[in-house]
Amino acid sequence: MRTIPRIICLWLFCTAFTAVGIGAETASPLLQAMREELNRSIDLLKRQPVPPYYLSYEITETHLIRIGASFGALSYNNERRSRMLDVDLRVGDYALDNTHPVRGSISNWSDRYSRIGIPIEDDIDAVRAVLWYHTDKKYKRALEQLTTVKTNVQVKVEEEDQSDDFSREPVERYVVEPASLNVPRDEWVDRVKRYTAPFAKDGNIYDASASLLATVSTRQYVNSEGSEIQTSQVRYRLFIYAFTKADDGMELPRYESFSAFTLEELPGDDEVLALVDKMIADLQALRDAPVVAPYAGPAILSGRASGVLFHEIFGHRIEGHRQKREEEGQTFKRKIGERVLPETFSVVFDPTTKRIAGKDLVGAYAYDNQGVRARRVAVVENGIFRRFLMSRSPIENFPNSNGHGRKAPGYAPVARQSNLIVETSEPQSRDRLKEMLIEQCRKEGKEFGLYFEDIQGGFTITGRFIPNAFNVLPIMVYRIYTDGREELVRGVDLIGTPLTAFSRIAAADDRIGVFNGMCGAESGGVPVSAVSPGIFISQIEVQKKPKSQERRPILDAPPSEAPEEETGGLL
């Protein structure tokens, strides 16, 4: 049985960081204890017949506050602290080690994910005891893995990519002071309640919620090469959700999400309540909107929608480790130096950029999860594909990391996206894109094209043994008729295959959109951003969206008893 490498991107929240110089006075007791135990473990294990050549510890401490409400009433108000440990221990050498993929076998889940809790107090003896025990477990498991790897290499055909298993990278030392949260919880309880109260006045809205998620994530990292890193990331996210149902059973959601580095940068009450009113109006309109049949033809995608499209059809397929795994489709592996986009387009991934177009970018970080400094990576320059996103897993012609080895706590890092930024040297106006769409429709004898205004997220499949395709999930879609009229429609998913979709991108506008979210793949969920202008595509394909077979509620909704002044807005 084979596992399908399906990658799902759910769009969520935001991070930030501030850097200071490293020194003994700023390194935490926890970081010092990690260094001492790592050195002790390496010294002891050197005496074994097969000693480790590399060891790293990463401890991620998370402090979060969650406040949520539904239809004007508080749903939850809680706080949590936790710490998780990750141990990367390698035996063999940089060329061939225990992490080498074993071809023809089912992946062992315990090798991909391991949840190791660690005391949240700085009790050094307790912390070192956990480090000691799990280092011993990892070492024993690594010896078993290395034996399996060597056997597998001998009995299987020669691999296409003979690159090393691990790259040598510079030693890094970088420390920030741990950040803290200061959330006026009573104030935010009142705010999320009032943000959701207006939804109760519409009896056709079946669920409505607003939530504030405040998180600080402090990460301590040490490795046997000498690197010591301590980062602290703060993020705030306000998320509003509601859904209704059409007569045919189709569920129709609407989302609004705001990410910021500080509470003060979140939108004010007037702006939020205006968007709530718009969400209610959109849901009312969606219930009566016509369903679009399967369609292939020209389309315009807003900046937010096109950012997600680039993330799915391109970003996942240029993650370096996918070029080495022989079960992967390797769509762009042999396209270095070839034109993949119009010469007016460039694409970069830049985790060092923290803000664009007035929006904070969640994919920003200072160092990746393998102790490599973040950097800007230009993958497409003037339409020409130049390079891959790299972790410390080398591939042919790319022997080193470019700072994109990422993971969620408990997972092993692989090459992952950061801040995807699409650039154009010849931006057009949105009106001009509409003209281009109408011209293409008339040329093809089509009655209308499509405009994708807002989008929920998407997923993609990158393997070679099933269709190598993507699915982007729109929320607000419009028909644009050849006479210029626009009509809201529903019930479509944007689908396709990567090379075909890429080849039909023709032009971009001058309206930059930012989509922040959490992307899930084999190394867990990591925060990412997609930044893009709106784009015109000469042909896309849509399919019918799946829908529930359940009818709308038989009973009328209960009447809202809240006074108008409590549901109509903030003073």
Q: For the stretch 460-479, what's the b/e string if a residue is b when 16 or more beta carbons lie within 10 angstroms of its beta carbon?
A: bbbbeeeebbbbbbbbbbbb
User: Is residue 11 a contact partner of residue 516, using CB atoms and an 8 Å limit?
Assistant: yes
Distances (CA, A) of 273 to 183, 259, 267, 478: 21, 17, 10, 24
- The whole-model pTM stands at 0.91
For residues 427 and 562, give the distance between their C-alpha atoms in angstroms, rounded to a whole number.
49
Which of 448, 452, 451, 453 has the alpha carbon at shortest distance from 438?
448
566's tokens: 């409590």
User: Is residue 542 a contact partner of residue 292, using CB atoms and an 8 Å limit?
Assistant: yes
294's tokens: 């399967």
DSSP 8-state code for residue 261: S
pLDDT of residue 24: 40
For residues 337 and 524, give the distance between their C-alpha atoms in angstroms, rounded to a whole number.
31
pLDDT of residue 155: 86
pLDDT in tens, the chain (571 residues): 333 444 555 443 333 333 334 444 466 889 999 999 999 999 999 999 999 999 999 999 999 999 999 999 999 999 999 999 999 999 999 999 999 999 877 666 567 788 999 999 999 999 999 999 999 999 999 999 999 999 999 888 888 889 999 999 999 999 999 999 999 999 999 999 999 999 999 989 999 999 999 999 999 999 999 999 999 999 999 999 999 999 999 999 999 999 888 999 999 999 999 999 999 999 999 999 999 999 999 999 999 999 999 999 999 999 999 999 888 899 999 999 999 999 999 999 999 999 999 999 989 999 999 999 999 999 999 999 999 999 999 999 999 999 999 999 999 999 999 999 999 999 999 999 999 999 999 999 999 999 999 988 888 888 877 788 889 899 999 999 999 999 999 999 999 999 999 999 999 999 999 999 899 999 999 999 999 999 999 999 999 888 777 777 766 777 766 544 333 332 2
- What is the enclosing helix (H) or strand (E) of 40? helix 29-45
Other CB atoms within 10 Å distance of the CB of residue 501 = 23
Entry field: residues in the chain: 571
What is the secondary structure of 89-152 as a DSSP string?
Answer: EEEB-SSSBTTS--TTSPPPHHHHB--EE--SS--HHHHHHHHHHHHHHHHHHHHHHHHHHHHH
For residues 51 and 42, give the distance between their C-alpha atoms in angstroms, rounded to a whole number.
8
For residues 523 and 571, give the distance between their C-alpha atoms in angstroms, rounded to a whole number.
46
What is the secondary structure of 161-201 as a DSSP string?
Answer: ----SS------EEE-PPP-----HHHHHHHHHHHHGGGGG
Other CB atoms within 10 Å distance of the CB of residue 125 = 8
For residues 186 and 77, give the distance between their C-alpha atoms in angstroms, rounded to a whole number.
10
For residues 362 and 260, give the distance between their C-alpha atoms in angstroms, rounded to a whole number.
9
Other CB atoms within 10 Å distance of the CB of residue 179 = 17
What is the secondary structure of 435-487 as a DSSP string?
Answer: HHHHHHHHHHT-SEEEEEEEEEEEEEE-BSSS---EEEEEEEEEEEETTS-EE
User: Is residue 200 a contact partner of residue 560, using CB atoms and an 8 Å limit?
Assistant: yes
CB proximity list for 82: less than 8 A, separation 6 or greater: 61, 62, 117, 120
pLDDT of residue 26: 61
pLDDT of residue 571: 29
